[in-house]
Amino acid sequence: MITANDLQELAKTHGTPLFIIDHDELRSNYAIFKDNLPRVQAYYAVKANPDPVIVKTLFEAGASFDVSSIAEFNIVYDNIKHLSEQDQHQWIWDNIIYANPIKAEETLRELDKYQLLMTFDNREEVFKIRDHAPNARVVLRLRVSNAGAMVELSSKFGASHDEALDLIFEAVNAGLTVAGLSFHVGSQTTNFENYMQAINMAALIFKEVKERGYDKMDLLDIGGGFPAPYDESVKPFSELTKRINTELNRLIPEDIKIIAEPGRFLVATTATAVSKIIGKAVRHGKLCYYIDDGVYHTFSGVIFDHCQYHFDAFKVGPTQICTVFGPTCDGLDVISMTEELPEDLQRGDLLSSKNIGAYSGATSTYFNGFPPAKVIQVNR
């Protein structure tokens, strides 16, 4: 476990801003996921944090991977490029799903040789895959409820129950192998009923497809959305998985392989940001701190992920509600307007923000000339 003293020492050694990744926490989260969902193989959603060292740690721990671009595929591929071509193909066959339902033709042509698992959710994608990646094994992504999710995905992706059978047989008639079904209940889902409804829908579609004479579907991808414990309002992971396991065991036959795409759950708690106060002012009667990190960098999740991060100070003293701004000249660069912090912090004092490992550094930029935080790997 990384202590407050450790954070301060790292800042003293490396300067700020820092993005500190704890690989012991990463391995622990992966083990918790596996222990709580024994039938489910975890395919880490690389988009949550594509740091190659994170991918390597999870690869060594036995994870599989969900990729959504050729760049993410190549990050994973770096871990197996030393293998023979035959072993590479076998590993990719078993351990990667290309889970972006809409793919560029160039990507399909590049991946065709691997007979990769990939998702689809519409007729146009069937024809595109047929023409450019006919060796792929395809998985129909279903549109399911995203109610209660922090990031809603169902308006952009997924086929309805009414469309499912026609799309599956459209793909079969196009000469493709339909390997199974997938769904995603939305990112950081706190409404556990979404999973229950989605599993029930998938079980019914499996039954309907088999009754229509197609018996090659042997995979169910239950997606991501597993919530990270950002605060006490998030129900325990064990409570969710107990319900998922009950429905899987009740509805999904043992001969169907079950996979999932955890991203946030695996990496959110693994990282801590450390920043430095570079300015202090009172605006409209309210204390404001300016730090050397912001929403264009580590705190990009405020904009892109609908996530609110909080700060801890290393000093103690009387507190008040403050605004925390990032370093750029953009008025959008507001990290928090309701942060309770000591009122006597000074320039050069440090702040930390925990549980910031997901969808943060993944979307950092160099806007306004400010570079992203330096990444520090610990417990490797």
Give the tokens for residue 241: 């998985």
pLDDT class of 285 with cuts at 50, 70, 90: very high
Contact 349, 315 (CB under 8 A): yes
Tell which residue, 265, 269, 289, has the closest CA to residue 279.
289
Same domain, 177 and 56: yes
Of 268, 289, 315, which closes a domain? 268
**Catalytic position from the list 288, 307, 322, 329:** 329
Give the domain CATH number at 100. Answer: 3.20.20.10
pLDDT class of 148 with cuts at 50, 70, 90: low
Same domain, 262 and 326: no
Give pLDDT tens digits for 334-357: 999 999 999 999 999 999 999 999
Q: Is 329 a catalytic residue?
A: yes
Contact 350, 16 (CB under 8 A): yes
Same domain, 101 and 146: yes
| Torsion sign, CA atoms 327, 301, 32, 51 | negative
| Domain assignment of residue 30, given as a range | 23-268
pLDDT class of 233 with cuts at 50, 70, 90: confident
Phi, psi angle pair for 177, to nearest 5°: -90, 115
pLDDT class of 189 with cuts at 50, 70, 90: confident
Cα–Cα distance between 90 and 66 in angstroms, integer? Answer: 16
Whole-prediction pTM: 0.94
Tell which residue, 335, 368, 366, 365, has the closest CA to residue 352.
335
Of 210, 234, 268, which closes a domain? 268
Q: Please give the tally of structural domains in the chain.
A: 2
How large is the average pLDDT for residues 50-72?
97
